[in-house]
């Protein structure tokens, strides 16, 4: 009965697959965007605590601190070490005269804590060379690549020894790093803290964050509370800072609403296509269902038979849809498209497609339960 009418069978399969594809793909892109808002935190795993101004709302919301705060943090009981970190936007001048805004990260001169986790070329220690910077790989091959002689000529990727101009200051590329893409997808440039002070526009306060490590065995919540009481600053663990950042984007941007609407429309499309097609499938096979009922099949047996048919369609359709969505992950690798599919998304997709098949089954069973066996002998 299920595959006898290939047109209706493939229509139901297409409906479930399309629903599964939309839900999986849009949910993965949403999660990918949210993960990019905290991409910089993924790349800085060493510190236990991030100390900042209490008014900071997310990782790119910089409220500069006074340099004396660093000494206060180092004097808090339970803090093993604390180092400064600069994070700001500085314009880079390209050889063709155009400008590109970059996220400049200034690392502690002595320890280089907060540096890129993976180096494609060079080492983090090369930042101790004069005027040195490390550029992320995507920017070196893209936005910071050297333009060709003509507008249509291909760009030349940055290499070790190339020169950048940051806020009218000379910067020498000594390394290429592989970093997690950020929400704004701007080039990331690493340098030392003292050099970042020279690159940055002059302001009274330039200290963005203080990265702190707790003493072995110390309770991070207790240390954070002491920091707040003694300095007036707030200290977050990396996971807490991620949550603060994601909550800000969830609350203050239209991203959740936009993707929620897309996922909801995908669900409604699946209900409409699968429901209508399956109802038509049941109607067309009422005669055969009547024969089974006339032969003694109970409503429960017919119910199980139809449930198995719908579950088969749901399983095949959701597998096809999630498979197609997974191709997006392969295609979007190292691209601007944010796509991240944790294990929870396939689970939600399976639950959604199961709900669709259950709803369509209940809708269709109403006619089956009221079916009279005598319909077989009519006409």
**Residue pLDDT, tens place only, 282-329:** 777 777 777 777 787 777 787 888 888 888 888 888 899 888 888 877
Q: Where among 187, 204, 236 does a domain terminate?
A: 236
pLDDT single digits (tens) 240-265: 999 999 999 999 888 888 888 888 88
Q: Is 1 among the domain residues? A: no
Antiparallel, parallel or unpaired: β 163-166 and 79-93: antiparallel
Backbone angles phi, psi at 156, to 5 degrees: -105, 120
Residue 328: its pLDDT value, please?
Answer: 78
Q: Are 265 and 226 found together in one domain? A: no
Residue 162's domain comprises: 49-236
Q: Is 155 among the domain residues? A: yes
Q: Is 271 among the domain residues? A: yes
Q: Are 273 and 221 found together in one domain? A: no
Asked whether the whole model's pTM tops 0.85, one would answer: no
Residue 152: its pLDDT value, please?
Answer: 74
For residue 115, pLDDT beyond 60? yes
For residue 371, pLDDT beyond 80? no
pLDDT bracket for residue 36 (50, 70, 90): confident
Q: Which one is predicted more confidently, 288 or 130? A: 130
Q: Are 68 and 209 found together in one domain? A: yes
Q: How many domains does the chain have?
A: 2
Per-residue CA distances from 62 to 52, 57, 213, 263 (Å): 9, 9, 21, 34
Q: Is 373 among the domain residues? A: yes
Q: Are 129 and 216 found together in one domain? A: yes
Residue 342: its pLDDT value, please?
Answer: 87
Q: Are 276 and 356 found together in one domain? A: yes
Q: Are 85 and 24 found together in one domain? A: no
pLDDT bracket for residue 148 (50, 70, 90): confident
* Chain length of the chain: 379
């Amino acid at each position: 009965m299920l595959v006898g009418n290939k047109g209706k069978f493939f229509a139901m399969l297409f409906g479930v697959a399309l629903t599964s594809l939309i839900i999986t793909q849009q949910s993965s892109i949403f999660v990918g965007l949210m993960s990019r808002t905290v991409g910089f935190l993924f790349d800085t795993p060493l510190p236990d605590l991030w100390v900042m101004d209490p008014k900071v709302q997310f990782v790119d919301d910089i409220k500069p601190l006074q340099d004396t705060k660093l000494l206060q943090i180092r004097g808090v009981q339970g803090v093993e070490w604390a180092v400064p970190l600069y994070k700001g936007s500085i314009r880079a001048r390209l050889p063709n005269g155009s400008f590109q805004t970059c996220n400049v990260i200034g690392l502690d001169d002595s320890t280089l804590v907060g540096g890129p986790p993976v180096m494609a070329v060079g080492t983090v220690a090369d930042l101790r060379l004069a005027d040195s910077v490390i550029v992320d790989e995507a920017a070196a091959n893209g936005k910071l690549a050297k333009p060709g002689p003509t507008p249509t000529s291909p760009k030349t990727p940055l290499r070790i020894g190339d020169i950048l101009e940051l806020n009218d200051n000379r910067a020498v590329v000594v390394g290429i790093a592989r970093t997690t893409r950020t929400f704004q997808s701007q080039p990331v440039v690493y340098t030392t803290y003292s050099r970042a002070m020279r690159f940055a526009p002059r302001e009274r306060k330039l200290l963005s964050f203080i990265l702190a490590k707790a003493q072995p065995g110390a309770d991070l919540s207790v240390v954070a509370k002491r920091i707040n009481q003694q300095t007036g600053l707030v200290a977050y663990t990396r996971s807490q800072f991620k949550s603060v950042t994601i909550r800000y984007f969830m609350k203050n941007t239209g991203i959740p609403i936009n993707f929620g609407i897309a996922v909801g429309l995908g669900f409604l499309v699946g209900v409409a296509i699968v429901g209508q097609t399956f109802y038509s499938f049941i109607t067309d096979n009422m005669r055969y269902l009547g024969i089974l009922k006339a032969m003694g099949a109970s409503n429960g047996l017919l119910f199980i038979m139809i449930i198995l048919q719908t579950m088969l369609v749901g399983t095949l359709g959701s597998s096809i849809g999630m498979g197609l969505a997974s191709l997006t992950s392969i295609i979007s690798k190292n691209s601007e498209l944010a796509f991240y599919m944790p294990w929870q998304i396939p689970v939600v997709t399976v639950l959604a497609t199961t709900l669709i098949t259950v709803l369509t089954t209940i809708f269709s069973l109403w006619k089956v339960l009221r079916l009279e066996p005598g319909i077989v002998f009519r006409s």
